[in-house]
């Protein structure tokens, strides 16, 4: 019985740790990710930007597409969201999302 509990606990931990690495949805473009999280799911714009920069593979890359500095991030996101379905996104919201990204990067 003790062995069974240990095996169950080990399989649970394995599932948790592998989910974040392999389970993240990939997107072809940043705009696709932003629309999914910011428009369809309704996350606040700054959170949607940070989630896409940090947590999802974009064009095969994870946690690098938004750049190494806040300005690189703002420039990248500003250009990318022109293709999204959220024309009301402001530069202040982009900057806030990029600040979150840089703080957690």
pTM for the predicted model, two decimal places: 0.73
Cβ neighbours for 28, distance < 8 A, ≥ 6 positions apart:
58, 59
Contact 52, 101 (CB under 8 A): no
Tens digits of residue pLDDT in 60-89 = 877 778 999 999 999 999 988 876 666 678
Residue 101 above 90 pLDDT? yes
Report the distance separating Cα 87 and Cα 3, nearest Å.
56
Cα 80 from chain centroid (whole Å) = 14
Report residue 3 as tokens: 């062995």
Q: Pick the residue with more confidence: 72 or 16?
A: 72
């Amino acid at each position: 019985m003790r062995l069974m509990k240990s095996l169950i606990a080990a399989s649970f931990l394995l599932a948790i740790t592998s989910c974040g690495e392999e389970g993240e949805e990939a997107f072809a473009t940043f705009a696709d990710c932003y629309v999914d999280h910011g428009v369809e799911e309704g996350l606040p714009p700054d959170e949607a930007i940070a989630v896409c920069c940090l947590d999802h593979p974009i064009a095969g890359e994870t946690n690098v597409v938004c750049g190494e500095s806040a300005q690189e991030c703002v420039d990248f996101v500003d250009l990318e969201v022109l293709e999204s379905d959220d024309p009301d996104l402001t530069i202040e919201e982009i900057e806030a999302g990029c600040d979150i990204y840089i703080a957690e990067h």
